[in-house]
């Protein structure tokens, strides 16, 4: 980790925005940015209150701004009332009802456009349909759907009636879905018969059926199924309802449920350092404010923009920059069902050309894979509509950054490398494109009003050019409110005592001499594989649950395209397989097992077998050693405390 940071820290290229970009930017020039930072420092609550009044339509204005009395359970704008769906839809009807809200491009390239008027009507209709099933404020609704107009309708409809949605990424398995439904005690699941990806039909409803059959989901009284692919599916007349039947005859207007600013808008499960995913709970008012100001500041949003964030709504990026941020701003955005490599690796570029996309936001892993599959392809398309590019999810290596900048952005478009997390709700550290000169690989400076610092184990600030833990020292509106059903885990994970009340992000970072932030990686057992957040403990406990496995340890190793690859070290209950064929066979079975239990994204890239794992005499697995072995590096660590040095040789063996 420290060697990779050292190499990016040698990066000396600096890319200031063009004068033309600066001139038109929402936040224009360093002086404007510094004035905002100063305003936040001088009157923190006043700063955020002003923004909350300017950006959000309040049904009942708030008088209290930040309540820290029950820290770290902070409250923002707590006596204000609003409805998030009203803020995303109704507020635009008087001024731009006929503006296109969504340009939906299906896997097969069929395009459907939806105006704000139509989207509003569809959300109202579906909200009424949910109410007809007696789903109401505070109820939890799990959404397991493909990228579609309908998934946005479903999320917005939940927000409209005050139901709390929990979107589960369509790539998660029935077991993962089962756990999330049970943890949230959801009353309904909204799904589709199947999803279309890369020309293939991938079942969804059958996965929901399996999840329910596993038990623990008695809270579910309705399964609403959107017909996407026309697949044959099993039908349980007691639970299952077709989306189209349910909305038939429903009114296209629907009085929103006015909720308190702190009312939970959604729960989104994410991986942490234990085996059990955490249900990150977000608020309504504070979250919406974060999504909106970051659209304005970081994406420099203009009403004429065609915005495209490629993230799936199953991740936080798809919540903040597909479902909520762009709609609250009244933007026109592209929503894409398919994958970047179908029918070929020119798909993104072709779509940018045909929809005249101005702002494009994607993940470093997608950029790297598209470089590999067709680094010259963007040149075949007219990308002149682009004015701003963004990345998210993991550090971007300078080579990929330079390609994105020169080939995709034609050296014209600033790149916003946005650091944030499921827990922070919106961008925290990212260049304001009309302010900050960017450096490839750095997410640059915090948003004005976000108080970041790099500290040591004792929570003390470290000098520049020295690594440490990334913390946010003041509560901010869009932050996580709690972990659903587990407030103690929330407190322990994010506000450990040593950090003196600051929010501990879980990343290590350092600031360079100009105060630019460089993210080094996670400090916990969380991996970023193709931008997907996965806990090593989750994968370990899944492996250990296999009848063949006695013990497993999972670590990450750098991967050219995925960022990180998963390497599992496994001790079997029976004898260690010796010949290559047997090793392959067992490894393949275990990979399939993990795919089935968590989802294909969690399948280890590599599995190695040993008679034991390297442990200290006190029985602790030496993970650092395993990381070195996984990378194929020379072991330079002190192995004198190792109980069983002989097994190192076994674990070094790679069988492909
Ligand atoms: C990592 C995704 C470097 C980081 C929005 C963080 C990044 C985790 C960046 C959160 C970036 C995200 N540069 N690292 N620009 N953005 N990360 O919850 O380790 O899926 O803690 O949220 O991704 O992942 P999550």
Nearest to 196 by CA among 220, 227, 168, 219: 227
Say how far residue 118 (Cα) sits from the centre of its chain: 28
Report how far residue 128's alpha carbon sits from residue 250's, in angstroms, rounded to the nearest whole number.
6
Is the CB of 522 within 6 Å of ligand 1? yes
For residue 148, give the 3-state DSSP assignment: coil
Distance 281 CA to ligand 1 centre (A): 18
Per 3-state DSSP, the chain is made up of helix, strand and coil in percentages (nearest 5) of 35, 25, 45
Is the CB of 443 within 6 Å of ligand 1? yes
Walk along the chain (656 residues) in steps of 10 and give the mean pLDDT of each run.
59 94 98 98 98 98 98 98 98 98 98 98 98 98 98 99 98 96 98 97 98 98 98 97 98 98 98 87 98 98 98 98 98 98 97 98 95 94 98 94 97 98 98 98 97 96 95 98 98 96 96 95 90 91 94 94 95 90 95 95 95 85 90 85 82 75
Mutate to test the pocket of ligand 1, among 320, 519, 563 (most ligand atoms within 8 A of CB): 519
Q: Tell how strand 388-392 and strand 415-418 pair up.
A: parallel
Distance 547 CA to ligand 1 centre (A): 34
Say how far residue 533 (Cα) sits from the centre of its chain: 8
Is the CB of 421 within 6 Å of ligand 1? yes
For residue 363, give the 3-state DSSP assignment: coil
Is the CB of 564 within 6 Å of ligand 1? no
Is the CB of 317 within 6 Å of ligand 1? yes
Integer Rg of the chain from CA: 24
**How far are the Cα atoms of 109, 155, 292, 489 from residue 112, in angstroms, in the given order?**
10, 19, 25, 43
Residue bearing tokens 């069988």: 655
For residue 507, with 0-12 CB atoms within 10 Å meaning exposed, 13-18 middle and 19 or more buried, which class applies?
Answer: buried
- Which residue's C-alpha comes closest to atom 20 of ligand 1? 533
> What local confidence, expressed as pLDDT, does residue 1 receive?
41
Mutate to test the pocket of ligand 1, among 270, 290, 367, 393 (most ligand atoms within 8 A of CB): 393
Tokens standing for residue 66: 């930040």
- Backbone phi, psi, residue 434, to 5°: -95, 15
**Segment (H or E) for 222:** strand 222-226
Do you find a cis peptide bond into 448, omega within 30 degrees of 0?
no
The stretches of 223-346 forming alpha helices (DSSP H) are 243-247, 285-297, 316-318, 325-328
Cβ atoms 525, 536 nearer than 8 A: yes
Mutate to test the pocket of ligand 1, among 401, 420, 423 (most ligand atoms within 8 A of CB): 420
Report how far residue 363's alpha carbon sits from residue 384's, in angstroms, rounded to the nearest whole number.
21
Is the CB of 228 within 6 Å of ligand 1? no
Nearest atom in ligand 1 to 417's CA: 15
**How far are the Cα atoms of 132, 366, 455, 517 from residue 512, in angstroms, in the given order?**
56, 27, 14, 7
- Which residue's C-alpha comes closest to atom 24 of ligand 1? 421
Report how far residue 157's alpha carbon sits from residue 147's, in angstroms, rounded to the nearest whole number.
16
- Which residue's C-alpha comes closest to atom 10 of ligand 1? 421
For residue 307, with 0-12 CB atoms within 10 Å meaning exposed, 13-18 middle and 19 or more buried, which class applies?
Answer: buried
Nearest 10 degrees: Cα torsion 31, 34, 35, 41: -170
> What local confidence, expressed as pLDDT, does residue 4 receive?
57
Is the CB of 533 within 6 Å of ligand 1? yes
Mutate to test the pocket of ligand 1, among 270, 528, 534 (most ligand atoms within 8 A of CB): 528
Is the CB of 395 within 6 Å of ligand 1? yes
Report how far residue 321's alpha carbon sits from residue 367's, in angstroms, rounded to the nearest whole number.
18
Mutate to test the pocket of ligand 1, among 394, 400, 483 (most ligand atoms within 8 A of CB): 394
- Which residue's C-alpha comes closest to atom 23 of ligand 1? 393
**Segment (H or E) for 8:** helix 2-9
This prediction's pTM: 0.94
Nearest atom in ligand 1 to 391's CA: 15
Is the CB of 417 within 6 Å of ligand 1? yes
Distance 419 CA to ligand 1 centre (A): 6
> What local confidence, expressed as pLDDT, does residue 3 receive?
53
Is the CB of 424 within 6 Å of ligand 1? no
Report how far residue 373's alpha carbon sits from residue 375's, in angstroms, rounded to the nearest whole number.
7
Cβ contacts of 260 within 8 Å, gap of 6 or more? 78, 79, 80, 81, 284
Is the CB of 316 within 6 Å of ligand 1? yes
Is the CB of 525 within 6 Å of ligand 1? no
Is the CB of 337 within 6 Å of ligand 1? no
Nearest atom in ligand 1 to 443's CA: 15
Q: Which residues are paired to 483 by β-bridges?
A: 280
Say how far residue 522 (Cα) sits from the centre of its chain: 15
**What is the number of helices (H) and of strands (E) in the chain?**
22, 30
Report how far residue 422's alpha carbon sits from residue 79's, in angstroms, rounded to the nearest whole number.
25
**Segment (H or E) for 624:** helix 623-631
Distance 301 CA to ligand 1 centre (A): 22
For residue 266, give the 3-state DSSP assignment: strand
Is the CB of 105 within 6 Å of ligand 1? no
**Segment (H or E) for 212:** helix 205-213
**How far are the Cα atoms of 204, 209, 292, 319, 332 from residue 84, in angstroms, in the given order?**
28, 31, 11, 12, 18
Is the CB of 393 within 6 Å of ligand 1? yes
Is the CB of 419 within 6 Å of ligand 1? yes
- Which residue's C-alpha comes closest to atom 6 of ligand 1? 421
**How far are the Cα atoms of 208, 335, 442, 530 from residue 395, in angstroms, in the given order?**
34, 25, 8, 11
Residue bearing tokens 């420290």: 2
Say how far residue 145 (Cα) sits from the centre of its chain: 16
Nearest to 310 by CA among 238, 364, 382: 364
Cβ atoms 602, 539 nearer than 8 A: yes
Maximum alpha-carbon separation in the chain: 74
**How far are the Cα atoms of 125, 140, 161, 346, 486 from residue 187, in angstroms, in the given order?**
19, 6, 14, 42, 20
Is the CB of 314 within 6 Å of ligand 1? no
Tokens standing for residue 100: 């296109």
Distance 392 CA to ligand 1 centre (A): 7
Report how far residue 451's alpha carbon sits from residue 517's, in angstroms, rounded to the nearest whole number.
13
Neighbouring C-alpha atoms within 13 Å toward the C-beta of 182: 15
Distance 393 CA to ligand 1 centre (A): 4
Is the CB of 528 within 6 Å of ligand 1? yes
In sign, the C-alpha dihedral spanning 488, 519, 309, 531 is negative
Is the CB of 507 within 6 Å of ligand 1? yes
């Amino acid at each position: 980790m420290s060697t990779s940071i050292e190499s990016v820290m040698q990066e000396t290229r600096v890319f200031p925005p063009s004068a033309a970009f600066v001139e038109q930017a929402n936040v224009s020039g360093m002086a404007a940015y510094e004035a905002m930072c100063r305003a936040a420092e001088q009157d923190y609550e006043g700063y955020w209150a002003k923004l909350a009044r300017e950006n959000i339509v309040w049904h009942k204005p708030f008088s209290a701004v930040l309540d820290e009395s029950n820290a770290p359970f902070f409250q923002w704008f707590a006596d204000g009332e609003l409805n998030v769906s009203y803020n995303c839809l109704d507020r635009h009807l008087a001024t731009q009802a006929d503006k296109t809200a969504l340009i939906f491009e299906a896997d097969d390239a069929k395009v459907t456009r939806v105006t704000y008027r139509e989207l509003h009507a569809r959300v109202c209709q579906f909200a009424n349909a949910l109410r007809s099933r007696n789903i109401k404020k505070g109820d939890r609704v799990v959404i397991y759907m493909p990228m579609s107009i309908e998934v946005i309708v479903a999320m917005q409809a939940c927000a409209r009636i005050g139901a709390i949605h929990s979107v589960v990424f369509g790539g998660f398995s029935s077991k993962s879905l089962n756990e999330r439904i049970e943890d949230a005690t959801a009353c309904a699941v909204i799904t589709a018969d199947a999803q279309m990806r890369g020309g293939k039909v991938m079942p969804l409803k059958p996965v929901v059926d399996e999840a329910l059959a596993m038990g623990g989901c008695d809270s579910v009284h309705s399964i609403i199924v959107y017909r996407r692919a026309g697949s044959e599916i099993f039908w349980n007349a007691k639970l299952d309802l077709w989306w189209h039947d349910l909305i038939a005859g429903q009114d296209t207007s629907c009085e929103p449920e006015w909720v308190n600013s702190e009312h939970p808008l959604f729960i989104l499960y994410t991986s942490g350092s234990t085996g059990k995913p955490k249900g990150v709970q977000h608020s309504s008012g504070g979250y919406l404010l974060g999504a909106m100001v970051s659209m304005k500041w970081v994406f420099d949003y203009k009403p004429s923009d065609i915005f495209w964030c490629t993230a799936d709504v199953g991740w936080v990026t798809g919540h903040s920059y597909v479902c909520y941020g762009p709609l609250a701003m009244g933007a026109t955005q592209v929503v894409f069902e398919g994958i970047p490599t179908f029918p070929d690796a020119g798909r993104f570029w072709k779509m940018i050309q045909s929809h005249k996309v101005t702002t494009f936001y994607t993940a470093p892993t997608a950029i790297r894979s598209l470089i590999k599959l067709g680094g010259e392809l963007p040149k075949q398309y007219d990308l002149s509509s682009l004015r701003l590019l963004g990345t998210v999810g993991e550090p971007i290596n300078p080579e990929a950054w330079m390609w994105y900048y020169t080939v995709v952005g034609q050296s014209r478009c600033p790149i916003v490398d946005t650091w944030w997390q499921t827990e922070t709700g919106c961008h925290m550290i990212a260049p304001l494109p009309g302010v900050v000169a960017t450096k490839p690989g750095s997410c640059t400076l915090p948003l004005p009003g976000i108080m970041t610092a790099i500290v040591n184990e004792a929570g003390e600030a470290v000098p520049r050019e020295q690594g440490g833990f990334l913390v946010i020292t003041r509560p901010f509106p869009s932050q996580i409110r709690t972990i659903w059903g587990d407030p103690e885990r929330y407190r322990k994970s994010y506000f450990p005592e040593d950090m003196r009340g600051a929010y501990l992000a879980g990343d290590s970072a350092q600031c360079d001499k100009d105060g630019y932030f460089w993210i080094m990686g996670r400090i916990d057992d969380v991996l970023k594989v193709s931008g997907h957040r996965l806990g090593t403990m989750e994968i370990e406990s899944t492996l250990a649950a296999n009848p063949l496995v006695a013990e497993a340890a999972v670590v990450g190793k750098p991967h050219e395209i995925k960022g990180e690859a998963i390497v599992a070290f496994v001790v079997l209950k029976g004898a260690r397989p010796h010949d290559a064929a047997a090793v392959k066979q067992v490894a393949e079975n275990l990979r399939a097992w993990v795919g089935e239990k968590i989802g294909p994204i969690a399948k280890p890239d590599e599995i190695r077998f040993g008679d034991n794992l390297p442990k200290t005499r006190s029985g602790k697995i030496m993970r650092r050693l395993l990381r070195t072995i996984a990378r194929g590096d020379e072991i330079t660590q002190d192995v004198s405390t190792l109980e069983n040095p002989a097994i190192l040789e076994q674990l070094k063996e790679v069988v492909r």
